[in-house]
Amino acid sequence: MRRVSIFGATGSIGENTVDLIERAPEEYRIVALSGGRNVKRLAEQAISLGAEVAVTCFPEKKEELAGHLSGSGVEVAAGPEAIEEAASRPADWVMSAIVGAAGLPPGLRALEQGATLALANKESLVCAGQLLMGTAKAHGAEVLPVDSEHSAVAQALVGEDLSAVERVILTASGGAFRDWPLEDLARATPEQASSHPNWDMGQRITVDSASMFNKSLEVIETREFFGFEPRQIEVVVHPQSMIHALVGFNDGALMAHVGPPDMRHAIGYALHHPERRSLPVERLDLVKIGRFDFREPCEARWPALRLARHVMEIRGLAGAAFNAAKEQALDAFLAREIRFTDMASVVEAVLEAMERDGALKCDRMCLDAVTEANHVARKRASELAAHVAMNA
């Protein structure tokens, strides 16, 4: 039996992972499950999968979780340190599906004990790619991408020589505001930004899809995970979200990964790697789909893409600052303190200020430096957002 832990089990990726595991429970022994406020669902999952420990990231929710789990034999824990402790428990396969930079410490702990890390939490790579990939290497552990685009690229690269790759093309649906008139974007509400044309995902990544901050994170993720040069990484708008990514080789061939917008494909690929197994996802009817469209991403609509290029030039702690400022700006937008279009301006101003202060430089990346950059960027973003809100 394979020992499995799922961090962020109650989220959209977590639930899809649980769905796949529940189809073959005899193959897995569940070590740890983590969640947030929805402790009732976390307890249900822990009982139905027979988990060793269930952890909520909120200490104030511990008692409620314990109530739901009383008599079940499942151990109860709470708080970020407890999540790290749970990630240190020996497991063979660990799903990293917490949203945001909070996913980094448990991901590192899992790699330190040699587990295969199925990485949905792209923020870990953006904040600390060198550290995460370095930790995997030092402990002989494997990282498998779960982001659909990166899973697609990894699949297109099987059996290929990396030196024959000319370029990687990530597709982007364009999110909720792809076809909105530019001048309306400033009035977009959190509700409007939270509906995705093709994918059913957590709220934060859905809003990040509308702003293309999600694609910006993914461009950086591509650089950190595969080591491609920034100039090799392209983005194209593809409204149908059926082609997840393409890899271009030096003989002119483009290998495209095509599939339905269902994360259980990428999760299942990572779960069964290096085997391929049957998965419960829709089989595409190409004739019914009829056509695939592509468009160039418009810089004025999605300034986040330009910021990602700048982050890759600076490197060091720029990814950590970029992600943290984005998380804070997103919080401010969701709280209706700033406008949709203010998010990119806030993030750009934070990057500029921290670069000016020399706060993005880093010789050897460590968790403390990443945490500090994260903290400073959040603080600056929060001040800037408050300033923007006051002048609105």
Give the annotated binding-site residues for 1-deoxy-D-xylulose 5-phosphate.
Answer: 122, 148-149, 173, 196, 209, 214-215, 218
Binding site, by residue number, is 10-13, 36-38, 121-123, 147-149, 173, 196, 202, 209, 214-215, 218
Kindly state the number of chain residues that form the binding site for Mg ion, as judged by CB under 5 A: 3
Determine which residue in the list 123, 221, 342, 348 makes contact with ligand NAD, applying CB under 6 A: 123
Shortest distance, position 205 Cβ to Mg ion, whole Å = 8
Asked whether position 147 contacts Mg ion by CB under 5 A, the answer is yes
User: What is the C-alpha to C-alpha distance for residues 328 and 348, in angstroms, rounded to an integer?
Assistant: 13
Shortest distance, position 42 Cβ to ligand NAD, whole Å = 8
Asked whether position 123 contacts Mg ion by CB under 5 A, the answer is no
Binding to Mg ion (CB under 5 A): which residues in 179-218? Answer: none
Q: Which stretch binds ligand NAD (CB under 6 A): 167-175, 198-206, 236-244, 289-297?
A: 198-206
User: What is the C-alpha to C-alpha distance for residues 2 and 206, in angstroms, rounded to an integer?
Assistant: 32
Q: Which stretch binds ligand NAD (CB under 6 A): 71-79, 196-204, 316-324, 377-385?
A: 196-204
Determine which residue in the list 201, 233, 343, 349 makes contact with ligand NAD, applying CB under 6 A: 201
Residue 299, number of CB atoms within 10 A of its CB: 10
Cβ-Cβ contacts under 8 Å for 336 (sequence gap 6 or more): 189, 190
Determine which residue in the list 18, 131, 168, 205 makes contact with ligand NAD, applying CB under 6 A: 205
Asked whether position 120 contacts ligand NAD by CB under 6 A, the answer is yes
Q: Which stretch binds ligand NAD (CB under 6 A): 62-70, 91-99, 157-165, 182-190?
A: 91-99
The residue written with tokens 């890899």 in the block is 247
Q: Are the C-beta atoms of 231 and 245 separated by less than 8 Å?
A: no
Alpha carbons within 13 A on the beta-carbon side of 377 = 33
**How open is the CA angle 149-155-156, to the nearest 5 degrees?**
90
Shortest distance, position 122 Cβ to ligand NAD, whole Å = 5
Asked whether position 348 contacts ligand NAD by CB under 6 A, the answer is no
Binding site for Mn(2+), by residue number, is 147, 149, 218
- Which of Mg ion, ligand NAD, none sits in contact with 8, Cβ below 5 to 8 A by type? ligand NAD
Pairing relation of β-strands 243-249 and 165-172?
antiparallel
Shortest distance, position 202 Cβ to ligand NAD, whole Å = 3
The DSSP string of 90-111 is --SEEEE---SGGGHHHHHHHH
- Which of Mg ion, ligand NAD, none sits in contact with 39, Cβ below 5 to 8 A by type? none
Q: Where are the alpha helices (DSSP H) in 139-239?
A: 148-156, 190-193, 203-211, 213-226
Binding to ligand NAD (CB under 6 A): which residues in 246-265? Answer: 263
Asked whether position 13 contacts ligand NAD by CB under 6 A, the answer is yes
Cβ-Cβ contacts under 8 Å for 119 (sequence gap 6 or more): 96, 107, 125, 143, 144, 145, 146, 147
Shortest distance, position 29 Cβ to Mg ion, whole Å = 29
Shortest distance, position 221 Cβ to Mg ion, whole Å = 9
72, two tokens: 């079940």
342, two tokens: 């203010």
**How open is the CA angle 18-34-219, to the nearest 5 degrees?**
80
The DSSP string of 235-286 is EEE-TT--EEEEEEETTS-EEEEE--S-THHHHHHHHHTTS----S-PPP-H
Determine which residue in the list 4, 31, 35, 328 makes contact with ligand NAD, applying CB under 6 A: 35
Asked whether position 147 contacts ligand NAD by CB under 6 A, the answer is yes
Minimal CB distance to ligand NAD: which residue? Answer: 11
* Per-residue three-class SS string for 185-207: HHHCCHHHHCCCCCCCCCHHHHH
- Which of ligand NAD, Mg ion, none sits in contact with 87, Cβ below 5 to 8 A by type? none
Closer to ligand NAD at the Cβ: 54 or 97? 97
Asked whether position 122 contacts ligand NAD by CB under 6 A, the answer is yes
What's the farthest any 2 CA atoms get from each other in the chain?
62
Binding site for ligand NAD (CB under 6 A): 8-14, 34-36, 57, 83, 97-100, 102, 120-123, 147, 199, 201-202, 204-205, 263
Binding site for Mg ion (CB under 5 A): 147-149
